[in-house]
Chains A and B, each alone.
Chain A
């Protein structure tokens, strides 16, 4: 890792598999000797609300479960407007963003009370708040694999393939088998490799 602590935010909407994604990243890295702290949002927020996980990754100490403002090094966003929400609070000119392009509309947008930002303008805003940003059709890829929930692993695969996280497919397989269950390895392996292969 280039920086210590290396701070990652995994963000999205309740039900997108955010907590699982950060658990797997953390489990792989703890196995590689890192001290990892993950702060998560649970409970009522899961019902349609924004859900973010903070990962604090360090070689030498256990950091707190929430990061200070403007300290994110990497943002993995399962939903584009959630990337903007996180960059607005935790981004800095060096932040790198990996973003699923597909919006999940808040019920407030569905009801017509507010509007969702124009997608091209939203992407431009994310670019302007990131040193590098990558936009991926992760949900579409996950639907091809049979389940939209796999978009989280597709994004991790991409981040790993782009050299943003020191994770390989073997480490991920071991973590899934140990922390979840061995039966879940094949489909997640496929999703991870799918993400990796999207790196050009």
Chain B
């Protein structure tokens, strides 16, 4: 029995925030769940997919976030409960539909969980989704603990069904990708039968009629949220400082107050229903607080909205000074941490912060400076992307026209770094590399001579690159699209996509084959093996000499998937007699430039050496040694 579907009410389990969300959805009786994978949200739908068959629900990895929301909405307009989850960038993709769905509303329950990534730990940006939710006139909840994440999902479904509209939940990395105690509730036994009531037309047009309905639903949500138990106050009746916080900021602030011994001086107002605000509760606390500090990630959302509320009531409230991101007291970007909040509170309350003795601190500083070498991000040992970028680098050097690689989202986004030999020159949104290459490929008419390469992964190809490729083809743009097909959505945990022969629930599914699709469009389509370095480089070079839109698929399974599926391809060693070390004219080519974690430079022997605990056995490095000292043997 999988963890999140245990029918054991009262049992306490250690669940990831995302698993807690999934469990909450099961307890709320969902029938449908859909998403496109994206960290830190991926495990929500991932864990539901694992129990889909047992629980009798339908779960899919949709082609992109907009389609995921549409799939879930179809269930919700037919009276079912449906969950959809995405990361902050995904909400942008889904927002076109969301900004119309909010006007028509739904008939069942639809909860949209968006997981933000403060500091962009696994994202290109750290955008705060809450601003979009506010402009959609939808209610928003933010959990502060794992158990609360579960209970909030159940509550969100109640709200959604009550107001006939979407209810949003915003999580952050330190909730979604953290784990904590969760007490299980009961699982429902029956689900409604879906029916689309054809007497009702769900049309956002005319907005003159649907927008007022959305506003009415929003006011209804405001009453429901104000009464919820997710908002609480702890601290003295008239605190010297009132901390207003939400999300991960709550547990961090609570610990900071305790560590500094400020329990009798500082009050904590935890807001779980961050939009619309519980106005009465906040106003009652503002009456007794001379100073307010906002602790939240990333933008001043609570801060702006509380300030607005204060302005509306300024004639009846005492003078309050507000501290937060606007006053420069709290950083206006990045993740929060307990250390950061301890520092802020200690300064504001004029108490000393806990500190280690001086000798220890100076040893600690020395350890960080001299004994903890930097670890740049790098492709895994045996990763086909390293080989692909090597071939691109070689081909562009051969070509000599200063070709431009337009990059995309996935593990291969690391191609902007040394591990991809800095070959990718752009990194923005899903599919944007191909769109930009399509535009760049039109600039020959103005005298541009640099060839354009669009690099994209297999999952990204289906998600957003296909329309850009059609655009390039139709306008006869000069570009080479290289699809790095590693047979999985690798960055987020190997979820299947439309090119896979299984679906999220593990059932057989027809695969949409990339080359079949491309050739059916009349595109020149070539397939290569990135592990064959020379052949790949020559192919890229030759394709760059042709005009028009071309596709090259470099196909090799993700090394992490490969390691799970079977033994290594090769046993790789360095022949210590053949490796000339520093005497060779190569200037440590294999380690200095190729930079695979499995191939080291032995400082004492001054020669290359394979680390058998790390090497994945791809054998690619054997082709780059000018002395043929790196030996690969079939394992």
Interface residues of A (CB under 8 A from B): 13-15, 23, 26-27, 30, 35-45, 47-50, 62-70, 81-82, 84-85, 87-89, 91-93, 102, 104-112, 114-117, 121-122, 125-126, 128-129, 139, 143, 148, 178-179
Contact = CB atoms under 8 A, between A and B. Distances in A.
A44 B597 contact: no
A91 B592 contact: no
Contact of B121 (A14, A42, A48, A139): A42
Contacts, number: 208
A126 B372 CA distance: 11
Contacts of A82: 372
7 contacts: A27-B14, A43-B122, A62-B181, A70-B356, A85-B372, A93-B356, A108-B375
Given A42-B40, A48-B378, A92-B356, 19 more contacts: A30-B181, A35-B180, A36-B179, A44-B121, A48-B379, A64-B248, A65-B174, A66-B337, A70-B354, A81-B371, A84-B372, A91-B360, A92-B360, A107-B376, A110-B599, A111-B595, A114-B373, A114-B374, A143-B613
Contacts of B3: 178-179
B371 A125 contact: yes
Given A39-B174, A105-B600, A15 B367 contact: no
B259 interface: yes
B258 to A, nearest CB: 9
Contact of A48 (B339, B370, B377, B611): B377
Nearest to A54: B178
Interface string B565-609: 000000000000000000000001001110111011101000000
B375 A125 contact: no
A152 B31 CA distance: 39
Nearest to B593: A111
B473 interface: no
Interface string B477-510: 0000000000000010000000000000000000
Given A64-B338, A125-B366, A39 B356 contact: no
A26 B373 CA distance: 29
A125 B363 contact: yes
B39 interface: yes
Interface string B116-151: 000001110000000000000000000001110000
Contacts of B69: none
Most chain A CB atoms below 10 A, which of B12, B378, B592: B378
A38 B179 contact: yes
A84 B178 contact: no
Most chain B CB atoms below 10 A, which of A45, A81, A89, A106: A106
Contacts of A81: 371-373
Given A45-B122, A49-B377, A112 B588 contact: yes
B402 interface: no
B601 A110 contact: yes
B166 interface: no
A48 B123 CA distance: 16
B268 interface: no
Per DSSP, are chain A's interface residues mostly helix, strand or loop, or mixed? mixed
A64 B255 contact: yes
Contacts of A108: 373-376
Most chain A CB atoms below 10 A, which of B3, B367, B612: B367
A145 B50 CA distance: 30
Interface string B321-339: 0000000000000000111
Interface stretch (B193-201, B411-419, B432-440): B411-419
Nearest to B176: A42
B380 interface: yes
Most chain B CB atoms below 10 A, which of A66, A108, A128: A66
A40 B367 contact: no
A38 B491 CA distance: 22
Contacts of B367: 84-85, 87-88, 125-126, 129
A181 to B, nearest CB: 10
B251 interface: yes
Contact of A65 (B13, B248, B380): B248
B14 A30 contact: yes
B356 A65 contact: no
B307 interface: no
Across the A-B interface, give the 7 residue pairs with the lowest CB-CB distance, nearest first. A43-B122, A48-B378, A64-B251, A65-B178, A85-B372, A88-B368, A84-B371
B597 A107 contact: yes
A141 to B, nearest CB: 12
A35 B145 CA distance: 12
A88 B592 contact: no
A9 B374 CA distance: 19
A66 B377 contact: no
Contact of B177 (A40, A69, A91): A40
A35 to B, nearest CB: 5
Contacts of B364: 87-89, 91, 129
B174 A41 contact: no
Contacts of B596: 107, 110
Contacts of B146: 37, 62
